[in-house]
Amino acid sequence: MALVDWLVVAAYMVFTIVLGVLLSRRASKSMEDFFVSGRSLPWWLAGTSMAATTFSIDTPLYVAGVVGSRGIAGNWEWWAFGFGHVLLIYLFARLWRRSEVVTDAQLIEMRYGGRLASALRGIKAFLFAVPINCIGVGYIMLAAVKVIGTLGIWEAMGIAPGQQVGGMDPKLLLVIGLSVFVLIYTGFSGLWGVVITDFFQFFLALFGAILVAYFAIKSPEIGGLRNLSELAQANTSFDVLAFVPLSFNGEGLFSVAWSAFAGISATTFAAYVFLQWWTFRRSDGGGEFIQRIVAAKSESEAVKAAWLFNIMHYIVRTWPWILVALAAVVLYPNLEDKELGYPMLMIDFLPPGLLGLVVASLFAAFMSTISTQINWGASYLVNDLYARFIRPDATQKQLIVAGRVASIIIAVVGAAAAFFSDSVANIFRLVIAIGTGPGVVLILRWFWWRINAAAELSAMLAGFFVGLFTSVIPVIMVPDFGTRLLIIVAITTVIWVAVMYLTPPESDETLIAFYKRVKPGGPGWSRFREITGIEGASLKAALKRVVAASFILFGLMFAIGASLLYDFQTALWMAILAASGGLLLRRWSKS
C-alpha cells in the first residue's frame, strides 16, 4: 500500500470516531436509546443497518472460499436463510414491533410465566451474548487478521513470520487494536452510532466489492465478463457455475448430481434448502435483526426495513462477491487457502488510492458487523441479566454505564476466539451447527399456545450441545454437514416434544396477556381469540405472501446472476419467476 492508501484509510477511521462522539449524547438518555435508538429508526436506516450487519470483512473471504472449493451452488449455505428472512417480512416483523422488547430474550417472560421463564431468559441471554455471539465476533476478527496479513503490514513493520512483539503474538496485538477501535465509537454512541455508521459503511463496502470485481475482470488474463465463466470452468474439476447442484437427466426428472461438485453432498444441499433456515435459532428473525425491527418507528416501518434488507442482502450484494470469487479461481488456480483470493486481487489489481479506498471499505464492513455484535451482545448482558437479576432498581445512568462495560467484555471474549481460530468457513459452519434445533420452537411459540418455557429451554440447550459435540469431538463428529444438521434436529425435536408434553402448559392469564399484546394469528390461538374477542392477523394470507415474495427474491437474484454470466436463457426463466411472484403478491395483498 502506498502513502495515499494509508491516508484514505486513516481519514475513514477519523470520520468514524468523530461520528461516534457526536452521537454519544443521543445514546446517553436511557437504556432504550442506547440499545434500540428510542424506537425511532426510519425504515431505510434500519434496513440498511441490517444489511450492513451481515456484510463484514469475513463475508467476501468466505464467499471466495466457498466458490473456489464448492462452486456457486455452495452459497446455498447462506442463500437458504432467504426463506427465513422473507418470513421475517410478513410473519414476524409486525409481531416483534408490537412486543416492544429491547432484546428477543425479554419476550420469554411475556410469552411464558413462572420461575422457569425467568431461568430461560437468563440462560438464553448468557448463551447468546457470550459463547454464540463471541464465536461470531471471533471469526469476523479472524478475517480482519487475514486481510491485514495479506496487505504486508508485518513485513513493512520489519516483523518476520513467527516473530513476537513485546513477548506477544502480532496477531493478538492486531486483534486487540481492532477491538479497542470499535469499542471507542460503539461505547460512546450505542445503537444510534452503530446504525448511522452502518449506513455509510454499507455503501462504501459495496462500492469496494464492485471495484475489486471490475479491475480483476478487466485484467488481460480474463478480458471481461464474457470470458470469465469459460475460464473459471476450465480451471476447476467440478461445475463451478451451476446455481444448484442439480442436473437434468433427459427423462423429465431432476436428480442431485453431487459427484460433479466439490464439497456439496446431496444431504448437505437438501439440509440447506429444506432444513437449515427454519430450524436455526434465527428462524423468527435473529437477535440483531430483531434489535433493528423493535427500534423502528412503527409496524409498517419495520416491514419496509425487512424488505429493504432482503433486497440489499440477496439481490444487490451477492454478485460482486461471486464475480470476485470466480476471478480468483481464474487468476489463482493453485491457491491453497481460497479465502485469500479476495485480498490478493485487491493487492494485485487495484491502483494506489483505490486500494486504500477498498481497504477502508473492508474496515467499514468489519466495523459495521463488530459494532453490532458488541452492542447486541451487551444488550443481553444489561437488559436480561444485570437489570433483570442483579440490579433491577438500577437508574438509567447506571444501565448505560453497564452497557459500556458489557461492550468491553464482549469484545475481549470475541478477540480471544479470533486468536485461536484459523478458518472463516469452518467457524461459520460451527455457528450454524450450535444454533440449529430450536428454530421450530421459536416459530411455533408465536402460533401455538401449547409451547411452554420447558420446551424452548430444552430445545435451545439440546441444539447447542448436540451441535457442539457433533462438530468438535472427534469420536462423535459427523463429517457430512447435511447429515450433522439432520441428526441435531432429530435429537433436539425428540427432546423438546417429550419435555413439552411432560410439563404443564402456561397459565391462561399469561397466554391471554401475550395474545392481547402481540395479536398472533393462526388456529393455534383460536380459544384465546374467543376469550378476548380480538382477531389476530391472518396466518394463511401471510404465508401466501411469503411464497410470492420468495419467487421475487430468488427470481431476481438468479436473473441478475445469470445475465452477468451470459446465461441469458436462465436469466429469462428467472425473470419470469420474479414477475410471477410480483403479480401473485399484488393479488394476494389486495385480497
Is the Cα torsion angle 374, 75, 48, 182 positive or negative in sign? Answer: positive
415 with 555, same domain: the answer is no
pLDDT of 286 strictly over 90: no
Q: Which structural domain, as residue segments, surrounds residue 297?
A: 3-20+40-246+264-270+286-424
Specify the pLDDT at position 304.
96
Contact 60, 215 (CB under 8 A): no
CA distance 532 to 44: 36
Residues 46 and 174 in one domain: yes
Residue 424 has pLDDT above 60, yes or no: no
Least confident of 110-114, 389-393, 458-462, 478-482: 478-482
pLDDT tens digits along 552-577:
999 999 999 999 999 999 999 999 99
What are all long-range contacts of 226-233, with beta carbons under 8 Å and residues at least 24 apart? 226/566, 228/323, 228/326, 228/327, 228/330, 228/565, 229/326, 229/565, 229/566, 229/567, 231/330, 232/326, 232/327, 232/329, 232/330
Asked if the structure places residue 402 within a domain, the reply is yes
pLDDT of residue 476: 83
- pLDDT grade for 27, boundaries at 50, 70 and 90: low
- What pLDDT sits at residue 169? 67
Q: Is the pLDDT of residue 155 over 90?
A: no
Q: Among 424, 459, 477, which residue terminates a domain? A: 424
The residue that leads in pLDDT, 204 or 246, is 204
My answer on whether 552 and 404 are in the same domain is: no
pLDDT at 258: 44
Tell me the average pLDDT across 454-471: 92
Does the residue 582 lie in any domain?
yes
What span, in angstroms and rounded, lies between the C-alpha atoms of 364 and 553? 26
Residues 555-575 as b/e (b if ≥16 CB within 10 A, e otherwise) read bbbbbbbbbbbebeebbeebb
* Cβ atoms < 10 Å from Cβ of 61: 29
Q: Identify the pLDDT of residue 325.
A: 94
pLDDT in tens, 165-190: 766 667 667 767 767 777 776 766 67
Read off the pLDDT band of 478 (50, 70, 90).
confident
* Number of CB atoms found within 10 A of residue 45's CB: 23
pLDDT average, residue stretch 196-225:
89
CATH number (domain holding residue 199): 1.20.1730.10
pLDDT, position 24? 67
User: For 435-461, what is the mean pLDDT?
Assistant: 94
Same domain, 94 and 242: yes
For residue 125, being part of any structural domain is answered with yes
Picking from 404, 424, 444, the residue at the C-terminal end of a domain is 424
In 3-state terms, what secondary structure has residue 191?
Answer: helix
Model confidence pLDDT, tens digit, residues 288-301: 889 899 999 999 99
Can you tell me the distance from the alpha carbon of 278 to that of 121, in angstroms, rounded to the nearest whole number? 21
Q: Which residues are bridge partners to 280 per DSSP?
A: 436
- Asked if pLDDT for residue 253 goes beyond 50, the answer is no
Please give the pLDDT value at position 250.
44
Dist. CA 196–CA 304, nearest whole Å: 18
pLDDT in tens, 312-332: 999 999 999 999 999 999 999
pLDDT score recorded for residue 252:
39
Residue 205: the pLDDT is 84
All three cell numbers of 413: 471474549
What confidence tens digit (pLDDT) does each residue in 525-544 have? Answer: 999 999 999 988 788 889 99
- Distance separating alpha carbons of residues 479 and 485, to the nearest angstrom: 11
**Average of pLDDT values for 332-352?**
87
In a domain, 61, yes or no: yes
Domain boundary among 360, 393, 424: 424
Q: For residue 308, what pLDDT is reported?
A: 96
Mean pLDDT computed over every residue of the chain: 85
* Grid cell digits, residue 291: 434489535
User: Backbone phi, then psi, for 101, in 5-degree steps?
Assistant: -85, 165
What does the buried/exposed string (b/e) look like for 373-401 if buried means 16 or more CB atoms within 10 Å of the residue's CB? bbbbbbbbbbbbbbbbeeeeebeeeebbe
Residue 255 has pLDDT above 60, yes or no: no
Q: When comparing pLDDT for 514 and 286, which is higher?
A: 514
Beta-carbon neighbour count of residue 311 at 10 Å? Answer: 16
d(CA 431, CA 142): 14
Q: Give how far Cα 366 sits from Cα of 6, 197, 308, 339, 425, Å.
A: 17, 12, 21, 16, 16
Distance, in Å, from the CA atom of 281 to the CA atom of 442, rounded to the nearest integer, reads 7
Which pLDDT band holds residue 481 (cuts at 50, 70, 90)? confident
At 256, is the secondary structure helix, strand, or coil? strand
In a domain, 371, yes or no: yes
**Per the structure, how many domains does the chain have?**
2
37 against 236, higher pLDDT: 236
pLDDT, residue 251, reads 43
Has residue 416 got a pLDDT over 60? yes
Q: DSSP per residue over 163-182, as a string?
A: --BTTB-HHHHHHHHHHHHH
Asked if 318 and 62 count as a contact pair (C-beta separation under 8 A), the reply is no
Whether 22 shows a pLDDT value over 80: the answer reads no
Q: Is residue 447 predicted with pLDDT exceeding 70?
A: yes
Q: Which of 15, 240, 56, 53 has its CA nearest to residue 146?
A: 56
Q: What is the pTM of this model?
A: 0.87
For residue 346, is it within any domain?
Answer: yes
pLDDT of 414 above 60: yes
- How high is the pLDDT of residue 26? 64
Query: Between these two residues, 505 and 102, which has the higher pLDDT value?
Result: 505
Q: Which SS3 state, helix, strand or coil, does residue 525 take?
A: coil
What does the alpha-carbon distance between residue 525 and residue 536 come to, in Å, rounded to a whole number? 9
164/299 same-domain check? yes
Looking only at the bridges linking them, the beta strands covering 246-248 and 254-256 are antiparallel
432 falls within a domain: no
Distant-in-sequence, close-in-space partners of 483: CB < 8 Å, separation ≥ 6: 265, 267, 268, 271
Percent of the chain's residues with pLDDT above 70: 87
At 4-18, the pLDDT tens digits run 888 888 888 888 778
Mean pLDDT calculated for residue range 461-467: 92
The predicted model gives 75-103 an average pLDDT of 93
Residue 207 maps to a domain:
yes
What per-residue confidence (pLDDT) applies to 426? Answer: 66
What average pLDDT score do residues 88-94 get? 93
